[in-house]
Amino acid sequence: MTTLSPTNQRQRVNDFAIKLANVNGTGSASANSLLMQAIFRMGVPVSGKNLFPSNIQGLPTWYEIRVNGDGHTSRALDYDLMVAMNSQTYEQDVFEVRPGGYLLYDSSWPLDTDLERDDVTFLGIPLAQICLEHFAAPRERILMKNVAYAGAIVALVDIDVELVAALLDETFSRNEKLRASNQLALRLGYDYARENFTTPLEFRVEAMNANRDAILIDGNTAVALGALYAGATVAAWYPITPATAVMDNFTQLCAKYRRTPLAATSPDAPVQYRHDYLIIQAEDEIASIGMVLGAGWSGARAFTSTSGPGISLMNELLGLAYYTEIPAVIVDVQRVGPSTGMPTRTQQGDLMMCAYASHGDTKHILVFPANPHECFEFAVTAFDLAERFQTPVFLLSDLDIGMNDWVVPKLTWDDAYVPDRGRVLSDDDLASIKEFFRYSDEDEEHVTPRTLPGSIEKGAYFIRGSGHDRFGRYTESPPEYQEVVDRLKKKHAAAASHVPAAVIEHHEGARFGIITVGSCDLAVREAIDQLSEVGVHADFMRVRGFPFGDEVKDYLANHELCFVVEQNRDAQLRSLLILEAAGRPEALHSVLAYGGFPLSARDVVQPILEEVES
């Protein structure tokens, strides 16, 4: 076992990965996030992946930090530094360190010699003993141990310690006792590493300017901001991992920005506000979508946030919304299924369910963001599409996007934005026509006009989920029923030119195409670069909306072979491309990763090389 770091190796700058192994519920998340934030503020491309269990306390949890000056920040599988703070996972953690890498552990207790590796440098710091000597309360010792190992990492990889200290000051500015404890713990770990090891190691952080126009944000926060900017005023939901934070953030944003000060009753009276929003935590997901549909029918921009199990429960009412043409936005932060599945693991397993949600013939509009920046943009798009086409629209994020912090371009907003409310007849419009029928007078996109409650009597209509004709009247006549559902099919097809277009990149010498969706984006892009390095060139397409546009169909037609990369077992994107974009089954080969952890470039490169070189 090597116990001291070598000094004669060439340093790698801004190109390494750290994995931190902890016990869930010990407060490690704040210390781990502190490291990522510091690297971000040093202007270096970085990512953080939180791999945590679904129980509250006691099981293993990991946090992965990848630093890459070239911007490759998908999940890494080779770890230069392992921080092993959980004896339950020592064996696994030691195994995952790359040859020549380092393992930092708490040497307050001896390490089992069976775990030793000759090609790994073990860095022992008596963290528990240090905290026992400097902090009095048992819980404080546990929490400060995390900050102490963070301090050691700061020294080992040359993170700006003054920047980290400033971050702690910001975090605990209102609590001097906590601020002082955290600052002490940071210095204890930092000083121990500096005094006992050769620092920095042969990989380190060096300040860049790559994040000048970027922010650090998670997808759930970005969706909530998008909903706010889009003009959403009604939301109904039921708590579910990993989507709960969407509504938590939306509630906080509305409390600050969706209010109007009322006239004071006296000069000394405190300011009172009228809250211009309604957010309801319903008794279940069925009630949630029902409330959203009622608000949408009444003219409000309304949405719900949920995950796969919630979509399952909403299916019947989603069919009602499709058939009666009520706008609604459903945010689906996907997780591993089926059933309860693994609530804190990521997957893309809801594509088919959302595309055809409900019984009978239904087709829904879907948008697929790849990162929090697109979560913000596509949330606004989803509300516009829902009202333009008078139908439910799904925004399909996932746990990786929703709950992890990402470095993305700054969010921008156009103050001239005007929501697309679609074909809504005013009282003046109604006065100018002879009669109004809810499902008649379709436009070139097969959308019919609607009215809102409170319109003059001519605009009144009865809405029904049972068979109805184009006048809104009950019918069981096959031709009359088919006329309505055929128009709905055409309306859905017309949305193809309005959903976000696919991102397509052509590369010289490409032998095949790669197609992907959502959070696979970064890993697939890195995989294409790695394939190119060994002389295997590929074109790229990331699908961003459904129904598919002509550009998707053209890409399929122009490639004899495509690999479809997605995170589910049953190749759902591939199935949609075959069913809805004339994809040829023999030309679409699947690359699937569905174990629940975020995608890495290796997950893409290995199966493609195995096939093209066989």
Instruction: Tell whether 196 is covered by a domain.
Output: yes
Tokens representing 585?
Answer: 């089954």
Instruction: Tell whether 415 is covered by a domain.
Output: no
- Rounded mean pLDDT of 273-282? 97
pLDDT of 11 = 83
Query: Residue holding tokens 């939301």?
Result: 235
pLDDT of 7 = 43
Q: Which residues pair with 332 in a beta bridge?
A: 306, 396
Q: Do 190 and 84 share a structural domain?
A: yes
Q: Which residues pair with 303 in a beta bridge?
A: 235, 329
pLDDT in tens, 463-473: 889 999 999 99
pLDDT exceeds 70 at position 343: yes
- Rounded mean pLDDT of 190-198? 98
CA 546 to chain centre: 18
Least Cα distance to 547 among 484, 486, 501 occurs for 501
Instruction: Tell whether 7 is covered by a domain.
Output: no
- Rounded mean pLDDT of 231-251? 98
Instruction: Tell whether 437 is covered by a domain.
Output: yes
Helix H or strand E segment including 117 = none
Quick one: pLDDT band at residue 614, thresholds 50, 70, 90? confident
Instruction: Tell whether 417 is covered by a domain.
Output: no
pLDDT exceeds 80 at position 534: yes
User: Given 497, 516, 549, which residue is the final one in a domain?
Assistant: 497
Quick one: pLDDT band at residue 25, thresholds 50, 70, 90? confident
pLDDT of 97 = 98
| Distance in angstroms (rounded) separating the CA atoms of residues 253 and 256 | 5
pLDDT of 9 = 55
User: Given 441, 471, 497, which residue is the final one in a domain?
Assistant: 497
pLDDT exceeds 60 at position 285: yes
pLDDT of 36 = 97
CATH of the domain at 551: 3.40.50.920
Q: Do 270 and 192 share a structural domain?
A: no
Q: Do 550 and 525 share a structural domain?
A: yes
pLDDT in tens, 89-124: 999 999 999 999 999 999 999 999 999 999 999 999
**Mean pLDDT computed over every residue of the chain:** 96
Q: Do 549 and 483 share a structural domain?
A: no
pLDDT exceeds 90 at position 313: yes
pLDDT in tens, 565-597: 999 999 999 999 999 999 999 999 999 999 999
Instruction: Tell whether 6 is covered by a domain.
Output: no
Least Cα distance to 146 among 63, 38, 46, 45 occurs for 63
393 versus 2: the higher-pLDDT residue is 393
Instruction: Tell whether 5 is covered by a domain.
Output: no
Q: Which residues pair with 49 in a beta bridge?
A: 64
Question: What sign results for the dihedral spanned by CA atoms 190, 195, 196, 199?
Answer: positive
Q: Do 587 and 449 share a structural domain?
A: no
Q: Which residues pair with 29 in a beta bridge?
A: none
Q: Do 389 and 309 share a structural domain?
A: yes
Q: Do 512 and 485 share a structural domain?
A: no
- Rounded mean pLDDT of 187-210? 98
Least Cα distance to 18 among 123, 107, 111 occurs for 123
How many domains would you assign to the chain? Answer: 4
pLDDT exceeds 60 at position 201: yes
- Rounded mean pLDDT of 501-526? 98
Q: Do 189 and 318 share a structural domain?
A: no
pLDDT exceeds 90 at position 34: yes
Amino acid at 536: V
pLDDT of 264 = 85
Q: Do 369 and 492 share a structural domain?
A: no
Quick one: pLDDT band at residue 58, thresholds 50, 70, 90? confident
Q: Give yes or no for a contact between 341 and 254, defined as CB atoms under 8 angstroms apart.
A: no
pLDDT of 144 = 97
Residues of the chain with pLDDT > 70, as a percent, come to 98
Q: Where would I find the beta strands (DSSP E) of 369-517?
A: 392-398, 405-409, 503-505, 512-517
Domain limits for position 433: 427-497
pLDDT exceeds 90 at position 4: no
